[in-house]
Amino acid sequence: MAIQATVPLMFQDRARKRPDAVVQAYKGPDGTFQTRTYRELYGDVLDCASALKSLGIGQGTNVGLISDNRREWLIADLATLSLGAADVPRGCDSMEREISFILSTTECPLAFIENKNQLTKILNSSASLPALKTLVMFNEPEASDVSAASGKGITLRSFWAMMKDGAAWRASHPSAVEDEMAKGTGEDIATIIFTSGTTGEPKGVMLTQSNYTWQLARTPGVLHSEPGDIWLTVLPVWHSFERCMQYIILESGSGMAYSKPVASVMFPDIAAVRPHIIPGVPRLWEALAAGIFRAIKKEGGVKKALFGFFVGVGKRYCWARDMTFGRVARFKPRVRVIDTLIGVIPWLLILPLNALGDLLVYRKVRAKLGGRMRMCISGGGALQAQVDAFYRAIGMNMIEGYGITETAPILSLRDQWRPRPGCVGRVFPDTECRIVDTELLAKAVEDAGGGEWHIPEALPPGKAGVIVVRGGQVMKGYYKRPDLTKRVIDSDGWFNTGDLGMLSHDYEIKITGRAKDTIVLLGGENIEPAPIERAIKACEYVESVVVLGQDKKYLAALIVPAKEALLSFAGENDLPADDYETLLDHPEVQQLFRTSIDGIVNHHNGFRPFECIFRFGLLPESFQVGKELSGKQEMMRHRINEIYKDRIAALFAE
């Protein structure tokens, strides 16, 4: 099918071609799944858009959308976009100051909110939100909520009551919304997604309609979904990854079932809907695998022994098959014929045993995941190699991808039919990708002083550097921040991802680290370390601190203590200080830093649970210019990761 100019027009086309296909499955009041067809969802979108239009929402308006993933989110999103407006999404875990900053910066006159908690956050900040006049709550508001909002000069409405008003308005204006939809162009701003900033200042990524439709036109070639497929949707939809997945579902004429990334909820939902495809972050796949291992371990005996044996067989089988059929990422020159000769005999020998493993073990494990799952999609962080190997061993097609918010987000995906482990897939069709020298790139930006600049020459395959890309999915820019936009997009349209990686000889990407500061945990949470580091550095016993945790379950920190202050503490508490390094390991010193960190980085000071420091290590020597610090005395995180790799590994050891 051809892709239209905008997401709403694409959805309109699919609704007309597959009106009776299931598009949404959600839990009703009795806890069982109910369904909605494309025809019904399209009607919901028209009703919602009609209500918005009657309230003055239209081309160029920004609309807040503070909610986690649920069926009303998609209705509100598509309705907003249908009018040429842009939504400004955020999740329910957002702090009050974040929501206030985002809604005030974008001057939203109206915002959808999920529940009373979000209402409270907004009403507490209402003085800084003069443009906000209307809130629409997905959960049914109470009379006291309406009264509290009115007292702040804000009208609070029920989402479903608004939908009824929209249906009535549409009856007297039957073509108004579709007329607006037809006016939409690829240049319209579809959304402004703010990157996580905690106590710092988030950046609003402006993504256009064409950023999404450009990808949707190319996705079927690398990520094929059949009409009628059911996808299980569990991730925060305000994140760019899950949002794009939902648009892919609509484009392919498939359906989505709403669940939660909690094993006690997700496993029963998987059994109920038997999904074909599940997009998830690495932590989700790790948790599901851990759940399977726990269940097998609990059974013990022969079942446990068979499971362990055949998972090992499956891993060896996958290695031999990959060698035989050229599923090996080539970051160095390789001779395919030699790979095949190395792999073919082991593959043939293991083939019958692997088939037996499928009969006795693999298919039973797959049955726990619904029995008909055709594809797992992992994004939002690096998938751990052992987790990847487990799913491949039991016959699951694990598709890992890579992207960031500024690229809406897909930059690469593993080949669905010939996936290669050890990389995040081939660069997306029609996207240009280069690897450039880290220091040369930084110098080019710095020398430009905010003016025009050009990326350095590309490095050859197998050489690590910064990943830069150019393509139709690259953002329009940062909202109201042309200065920041110029620092990441050069004069020729090349975007600096800030990620470190290398290209294979087959144009596949391998991520090796991050040149920019943002940390992405295994669960997909984006964290800016600078505000956390600033807070900890305010402690009198801290000279320097670097927060770590890329692709890990939690945050950790390396801390350089303020030596004189710490020695004074030791003297006051009669601690032996003849050997400074030994002093750092003393239980009272460790407790001093533990208490100090926990007293600074906590919920009361505006930090979310996943931003707390789980483990820390104390370093005896100060950071030095030319080693850990740049000439500007800024921390070079990639150098710190390299110098202290053993200490860092210990912080994240199980």
Whether residues 337 and 229 share a domain: the answer is no
Q: Residue 120, Cβ neighbours under 10 Å: how many? A: 14
Residue that finishes a domain, picked among 234, 254, 273: 273
User: Each residue of 513-542: pLDDT tens digit?
Assistant: 777 777 889 888 878 888 899 899 889 899
Max alpha carbon distance in the chain (Å)?
86
Whether residues 346 and 371 share a domain: the answer is yes
Q: What is the mean pLDDT of residues 225-230?
A: 93
User: Each residue of 548-605: pLDDT tens digit?
Assistant: 999 999 999 999 999 999 999 999 999 998 999 999 999 999 999 999 999 999 988 9
Q: What is the mean pLDDT of residues 386-399?
A: 94
Whether residues 382 and 402 share a domain: the answer is no
Please report, for the domain that includes residue 23, its CATH number: 3.40.50.12780
Whether residues 571 and 440 share a domain: the answer is no
Residue that finishes a domain, picked among 364, 393, 422: 393
User: Each residue of 435-460: pLDDT tens digit?
Assistant: 999 889 989 998 998 899 999 999 99
- pLDDT band of residue 400 (cuts 50, 70, 90) is very high
Using DSSP's 3-state secondary structure scheme, residue 401 falls into: strand
CA 512 to chain centre: 18
Is 207 inside any structural domain?
Answer: no
- pLDDT band of residue 159 (cuts 50, 70, 90) is very high
Whether residues 460 and 549 share a domain: the answer is no
Identify the DSSP state of 141: P
DSSP 49-72: HHHHHHTT--TT-EEEEE--S-HH
DSSP H stretches of helix in 83-158: 96-105, 116-124, 143-151
Strand 62-66 and strand 33-37: the pairing is unpaired
Q: What is the mean pLDDT of residues 403-409?
A: 94
* Closest among 399, 400, 415, 312 to 362, alpha carbons compared: 312
Contact 593, 541 (CB under 8 A): yes
Is 193 inside any structural domain?
Answer: no
DSSP 318-356: HHHHHHHTT----SS---HHHHHHHHHHHHHHHHHHHHH
The C-alpha atoms of residue 498 and residue 500 are separated, in whole angstroms, by 7
Is 83 inside any structural domain?
Answer: yes
Structure tokens at 502: 């290398």
Higher pLDDT residue, 512 or 205?
Answer: 205
Whether residues 122 and 239 share a domain: the answer is yes
- pLDDT band of residue 407 (cuts 50, 70, 90) is very high
DSSP-assigned beta bridge partners for residue 233: 258
Structure tokens at 163: 């939908």
Whether residues 305 and 261 share a domain: the answer is no
Is 208 inside any structural domain?
Answer: no
What is residue 196's predicted lDDT score, i.e. its pLDDT? Answer: 63
Report the predicted TM-score, pTM, of the whole model to 2 decimal places. 0.87
User: Each residue of 100-154: pLDDT tens digit?
Assistant: 999 999 999 999 999 999 999 999 999 999 999 999 999 999 999 999 999 999 9
* pLDDT over 90 percentage in the chain: 79
Number of domains observed in the structure of the chain:
4
Structure tokens at 377: 């999609």
Q: What is the mean pLDDT of residues 277-306?
A: 88
Is 199 inside any structural domain?
Answer: no
Whether residues 410 and 386 share a domain: the answer is no
- pLDDT band of residue 294 (cuts 50, 70, 90) is confident
- pLDDT band of residue 630 (cuts 50, 70, 90) is low
What is residue 534's predicted lDDT score, i.e. its pLDDT? Answer: 86
Question: Containing domain of residue 617, as a range?
Answer: 528-651
- pLDDT band of residue 198 (cuts 50, 70, 90) is very low
Looking at the predicted structure, is the pLDDT value of residue 199 above 60? no
Per-state percent for the chain, helix, strand, coil, to nearest 5: 45, 20, 35
Buried b (16+ CB within 10 A) or exposed e, 309-338: ebbebbbbbbbbbbbbebbbbbbeeeeeee
The C-alpha atoms of residue 514 and residue 498 are separated, in whole angstroms, by 6
Whether residues 92 and 239 share a domain: the answer is yes
Whether residues 314 and 347 share a domain: the answer is yes
User: Each residue of 91-104: pLDDT tens digit?
Assistant: 998 889 889 999 99
The tally of CA atoms less than 13 A away on the side-chain side of residue 301 is 3
Q: What is the mean pLDDT of residues 173-184?
A: 97
* pLDDT over 70 percentage in the chain: 98
Is 140 inside any structural domain?
Answer: yes
Q: Which residue has the tokens 């395919």?
A: 336
The C-alpha atoms of residue 584 and residue 581 are separated, in whole angstroms, by 5
Is 44 inside any structural domain?
Answer: yes
Q: Kind and range of the H or E element at 410?
A: strand 410-413
Whether residues 49 and 161 share a domain: the answer is yes
Please report, for the domain that includes residue 480, its CATH number: 2.30.38.10
Residue that finishes a domain, picked among 234, 256, 273: 273
What is residue 647's predicted lDDT score, i.e. its pLDDT? Answer: 95
DSSP-assigned beta bridge partners for residue 255: 230
Whether residues 268 and 134 share a domain: the answer is yes
The C-alpha atoms of residue 654 and residue 646 are separated, in whole angstroms, by 14
Is 216 inside any structural domain?
Answer: no
The C-alpha atoms of residue 62 and residue 16 are separated, in whole angstroms, by 28
The C-alpha atoms of residue 159 and residue 151 are separated, in whole angstroms, by 20
What is residue 528's predicted lDDT score, i.e. its pLDDT? Answer: 80
The C-alpha atoms of residue 410 and residue 240 are separated, in whole angstroms, by 9
